[in-house]
Structure 1
Amino acid sequence: MKSRIILYCVAACSLFSMYSCDDFLDTQNYVKKDTSNFPQSVDDADQLLTGVYSELNLINMDPDDGPLFIAEVASDDRFASGGVNDNTAQGADKLLRYGVDQFLHTWEKHYAGIYKANMALESYEKIQGWESDAQKNSFYGQTYFLRAYYYFTLAQMFGEVPLILTSEGGNLPKSSAKEIYAQIATDLKNAIEMMDATKYPNFESGRATRWAGEALMARVFLFYTGYYGMTSLPLVGGGEISKDEVIDWLEDCRDNSGHGLVGDFRNLWPYTNTYTRDDYPYVAGKVGIDGKPLEWAGDGNVETIFATKFSNVYAQSAGYVNYYPLYFAPPINVGEDTFPWGRGWGKACVTPNLWNEWLAEEPNDLRRQASIIDVRDHNEMKNYTWGANNEMEETGYWQKKIVAVAAKDPESGNFVSGFAVLASGATDHIQFCNTQDLIHIRYADVLLMHSELTETTAGINAVRARAGLNGISTYSLDALKKERRFELAFEGLRWFDLMRWGDVSEALEKQVGQPIYNRGVAINMPTFSTGFRTRYEATGGFWPIPDSQIDLSEGVLTQNKGWTETDAIFQGW
């Protein structure tokens, strides 16, 4: 399609330096990289692969239409919140659209990642000087993993999308779900088979591994078979991935990867870092489930199987800081009254239902307070101002997994915007100080997926034990659903779990009537447009393709169902 051809040209330009000082009579270009002289070396191959990874960061530039943000606010566990003009997010929370190109950034960046993956896969055979077949296979395996990851995200967001597998691009219609998932499964199978069994931590943090491929394959299998009512994953050219194969891969990851559970659930999250912990009453002086003082396990810890990495060096370049903690932090001023939380843009309050249901179902589960800030609790915040910055859909509950975490300088006694200012020299500014990993796959999810596929309790009980809870004696899907909701809350998985289980309508209807505050005024959440159930039935849970892409395709690409009617438009509060 025209738009994608343009996009591919832009992506291609990012791979090659455009600077040249050619001699007038010399036809040999010595300094400019193009397809005649790039790639040639392993260093060139690494540049190609780094370019494929870079889209993970660039997707982060605009969280408002990012997969994590949309999955969170669409679920039953969070409202969109934000200010009076945050109509895009507030519409998505109600399965409504606001504007014609709402998801353009997500669409473009995922296809840019796919283009770069396609170019890399076409180019690796040109490389001279591979150290070994294992090195070459690792490059191929990582690239197959990333292409699968980008396509899976698009498929979960938009349903059927164009399947483009060469760097030539083209004006292509949507492929069927079966074709898309066959390609995803084939790419992941290639990734698993081509990457070696190097154990954690003996590989570069942030790189895809065999273990990440095995875990993602299970996630893809569960979504495809659950949502589409299938029993296996198709493969390109025929064949299938069976449940037993997925279980074997999960057991390989469980038993041989070197990954494991962090000793205490609270140590997964940055608020237990040493620059914040001792001044935060909730964790100060506390001993964990593992009998050790609470301390953040850090980025790239034993439980992280795949994550996007961020940097202090390029912290003022969009995409190189983690913007989600900024988006998800409450609209407060950093200081004694609100410590340890950093200032943010006030998006995605936690729903009262989650807090109340969690308390009722698992009153002794430490993960509830380890995951949620209750502003009424002075151990969390001494003084909270309701309605700051005209906050909408405010509940007084904020998640604390992916959030700005402040710190106090031990020398000056002054507060800084983020703990990374003291820990690693990050810039002391609310937009540039959040550099913690954005975790996509945790080992706990591997255990829970294994329990779900095998219908056994071992994985569930390992996760519960780490939370200080007794195990369950008998497996049930209801117990599994509850465990996933509590263990993996706010990590971008709940919405897709609801979709594959067929539980969306019932869960979302419970949002109606929940108490919220708009600009400091107490109200109950009303019904918008035709209501949650009708909107989900109309859309199937998939989002609108950006209209500009449809226009540029000249009718080859068609809009998803449920997004062209007037009742799909969010009219605002």
Structure 2
Amino acid sequence: MKHYRSLMLKLCNFGIAVAAIVLACSCDDFLDTENLTMKDTSNFPVNETDAVQMVNGIYSVMNRNLADPEEDPFFIFDIAGDDRLGGGSQSNIGAQGVDRLMNAYVDWMKPLWKQRYAGINRANNALETIDNVTEWSSPDKKKQLLCEIYFLRAFYYFNLAQVFNGVPLVLSTDPQNLPRATADEVYAQIGSDLKAAIENGPSTKYPAFGEGRASKWAAEGLMARVWLFYTGFYNKSELPLAEGGSISKAQVASWLEDCIQNSGFGLVSDQRNLWPYTNPYTAKDYPYALDNGLNWVTDENMENMFAVKMSNKAGWSADSQLRHNRIVEFYGLRKTTVDAFPFSVQGYSNGPVCEKLWTDWAADPDYQGDYRRVGSICDRAVEIPKYKGDPAKEVENTNLLAKKYIGCEAYSEDHSSRYLSYAYYYGSENNRQSGLTQSLVWLRFADVLLMHSELTDGKAVLNGKSGLNAVRQRAGLNDITYSLAALKKERRYELCFEALRWNDLRRWGDVAEKVKNQVGNKITNQGIPGEYAFTNDFMQRYNETGGGFFKIPEDQVTLSEGVLEQNPGWGDGTNWAKGDLPYKFK
């Protein structure tokens, strides 16, 4: 029994091999207070190396969630918006359920709930034990780790709150069976944690604080996102703090100005160079990238401020499965051949792009000549006309494909070999799944600039320009006068397919746009032409669920013995099953 307890604590402290942790269970349940061979809270962390390893474990739950991409917050927020459909095949009910606010599986969202709370538990443990370390290489090292801990706990709670609304507020490792906190209480804690991250984080410019680490600057950016969502969705004027007081719009704007002026982050010269289809091993054989002189800046660049990182380490164990980005796999085309190059890494065809985004962008007089349209969306009929797809399975196919998160192949220099991912050249496996090592970017500098414009009504902030016009300038577009309508369009185009649109619509009160922009899209279902349709009144579903909140996993409600209440709108008749799509099929 002693060895089992020690093993479980080791799993909790070393995040890469974490076991499932439910809300009612803490790593402290497994403590061995007289352990002479394994690590526990009496002997871990004892030095700076231990502390870094402990914090690394908090990050790893994001990779764990990618094992179930349909229940990862990024995938949920991306699919739920109006610019993608669920797609896939009739069997891909997870994506289709997200798109329609319907329940796809028994205990749906359980991996999201479990892993985000595992991360919160690890952050709580880190805050309780970091003072065990008494010697640091520099005063800033401990402060940097505290910044990361507070940032990650806030990030995980923000994910949970945007998916579920009020959730249990767990702030210690003591085993607890807690009811849901109010949204105000959860956001107050998020605000306090981000404020602590900002205040602890050293003002070290990118990239000196370390690749893949949360920073003071990322905390400033996330604070703005939290503030905008909370005040917009809940109709508030300020963001409360758990210790009392609140955060004003002016304070958030000043933090963004600090980030913009002092962080070392910035815009890369061409937005397309952020996406892997411009990598040199793919681009040399991809006419669009070659003709436009595109040159990938890799995942580690001055614009990506916070991302889930992958690994090129080979292998296929229980852990190595989580070193690749399964969201990229789910967005890949079905039944691919060389005719789909460079987007020829086989996947599940989820997330086809809505025709309305494609046509709106082309028709907008403020966006004539915007290279981002073709840089972000592949018109299959134009770019890969010989690719026949998989009409036996594809549903809600629009023949439009998002380029930002999709697997890209590469050839050898002499074309004698074809590699199933460009990442083979960076040390990854030649495999259509484990070779997908693209980072999942949650925050980039362009978003910070646009949030600043929204908070300040277009105040100049970068080289004499507003954030809105700085982003437009990078896209080769002329300056425009600030308005909220202009800001909304720019966010839609610049940030499409980056898991932001759904929550932007929610906080602006514009969710009805989803219905207008999706219904009537021309699609094919197993080769049969049709038009996209909902099976129910989407806005009624949206209102029934309190504004687009998903079902709390049933086992969590059951295990709480009535303490944890289910979200409204998730009773009988809300299950989505294979075959529920409202179309004709072969």
Q: Same fold by TM-score, threshold 0.5 exceeded? A: yes
Q: Distance in 2 between matches of 1:462 and 1:468?
A: 10
TM-score (norm 1): 0.92
Q: Distance in 2 between matches of 1:47 and 1:413?
A: 43
Q: Distance in 2 between matches of 1:152 and 1:405?
A: 31
Alignment match of 2:12 (pick from 11, 14, 17): 14
Q: Distance in 2 between matches of 1:10 and 1:177?
A: 33
Structure 1 position 337, deviation (Å): 4.8
The question of 1:77 aligning with 2:88 is answered: no
The question of 1:510 aligning with 2:517 is answered: yes
Alignment match of 1:349 (pick from 346, 349, 352): 352
Alignment match of 2:404 (pick from 386, 393, 401): 401
The question of 1:274 aligning with 2:276 is answered: no
The C-alpha deviation readout for 1:13-63, integer Å capped at 9, x for no partner, is 432699xxxxxxxx9744211222222111111121011011121111111
Which residue matches 1:128? 134
Conservation of the 8 A alpha-carbon contact between 2:14 and 2:54: no
Which residue matches 2:30? none
Structure 1 position 439, deviation (Å): 0.7
The C-alpha deviation readout for 1:497-546, integer Å capped at 9, x for no partner, is 000000002332432222111111111112313x2111111111110000
Conservation of the 8 A alpha-carbon contact between 2:449 and 2:471: yes
Which residue matches 2:584? none
Task: State the one-letter code of the partner of 2:467.
Answer: G
Which residue matches 2:99? 93
Which residue matches 2:371? 366
Q: Distance in 1 between matches of 2:487 and 2:502?
A: 15
TM-score (norm 2): 0.90
Change (3 A) 1:16 1:304: closer
The question of 1:521 aligning with 2:519 is answered: no
Structure 1 position 264, deviation (Å): 0.6
Task: State the one-letter code of the partner of 1:342.
Answer: V
Structure 1 position 166, deviation (Å): 0.2
Conservation of the 8 A alpha-carbon contact between 2:82 and 2:513: no
- Mark the runs of 5 or more structure 2 residues left unpaired by the alignment: 1-6, 18-32, 460-465, 582-586
Which residue matches 1:471? 479
Q: Distance in 2 between matches of 1:412 and 1:376?
A: 25
The C-alpha deviation readout for 1:153-172, integer Å capped at 9, x for no partner, is 00011111000000113110
Alignment match of 1:110 (pick from 108, 116, 119): 116
Conservation of the 8 A alpha-carbon contact between 2:336 and 2:389: no
Tell me how large the CA RMSD over aligned residues is.
1.8
Which residue matches 1:493? 500
Q: Distance in 1 between matches of 2:9 and 2:445?
A: 33
Task: State the one-letter code of the partner of 1:327.
Answer: F
Which residue matches 1:289? none
What fraction of aligned residue pairs are identical, expressed as a percent? 45
Change (3 A) 1:209 1:120: same
SS in 2 for 1:130: coil
The question of 1:421 aligning with 2:424 is answered: yes
Q: Distance in 2 between matches of 1:144 and 1:93?
A: 32
- After superposition, residues 291-330 of structure 1 pair within 5 angstroms as 293-313=293-313, 316=316, 317-330=320-333
Compare 550-559 and 507-516 and name the one that shifted more.
507-516
Which residue matches 1:160? 166
Task: State the one-letter code of the partner of 2:117.
Answer: Y
Q: Distance in 1 between matches of 2:392 and 2:173?
A: 46
Conservation of the 8 A alpha-carbon contact between 2:10 and 2:38: no
Q: Distance in 1 between matches of 2:343 and 2:531?
A: 29
The question of 1:449 aligning with 2:462 is answered: no
Task: State the one-letter code of the partner of 2:127.
Answer: L
Q: Distance in 2 between matches of 1:554 and 1:29?
A: 34
Which residue matches 1:210? 216
The C-alpha deviation readout for 1:280-322, integer Å capped at 9, x for no partner, is 1112142xxxxxx420011110101111111111563122111
SS in 2 for 1:223: helix
Task: State the one-letter code of the partner of 1:374.
Answer: D
Conservation of the 8 A alpha-carbon contact between 1:270 and 1:405: yes
Alignment match of 2:244 (pick from 238, 241, 249): 238
Q: Distance in 2 between matches of 1:96 and 1:455?
A: 37
Alignment match of 1:335 (pick from 319, 335, 338): 338
Conservation of the 8 A alpha-carbon contact between 2:343 and 2:406: no
Q: How many residues align?
A: 546
Structure 1 position 336, deviation (Å): 4.3
The 4+ residue runs of structure 1 with deviation greater than 6 A are none
Conservation of the 8 A alpha-carbon contact between 1:338 and 1:383: no
The C-alpha deviation readout for 1:185-221, integer Å capped at 9, x for no partner, is 0000000000111001212111000100000000000
Q: Distance in 2 between matches of 1:406 and 1:386?
A: 17
The C-alpha deviation readout for 1:79-98, integer Å capped at 9, x for no partner, is 01111211222122111112
- After superposition, residues 19-30 of structure 1 pair within 5 angstroms as 29-30=35-36
Which residue matches 2:22? none
Q: Distance in 2 between matches of 1:95 and 1:255?
A: 40
Which residue matches 2:560? 553
Q: Distance in 2 between matches of 1:513 and 1:487?
A: 24
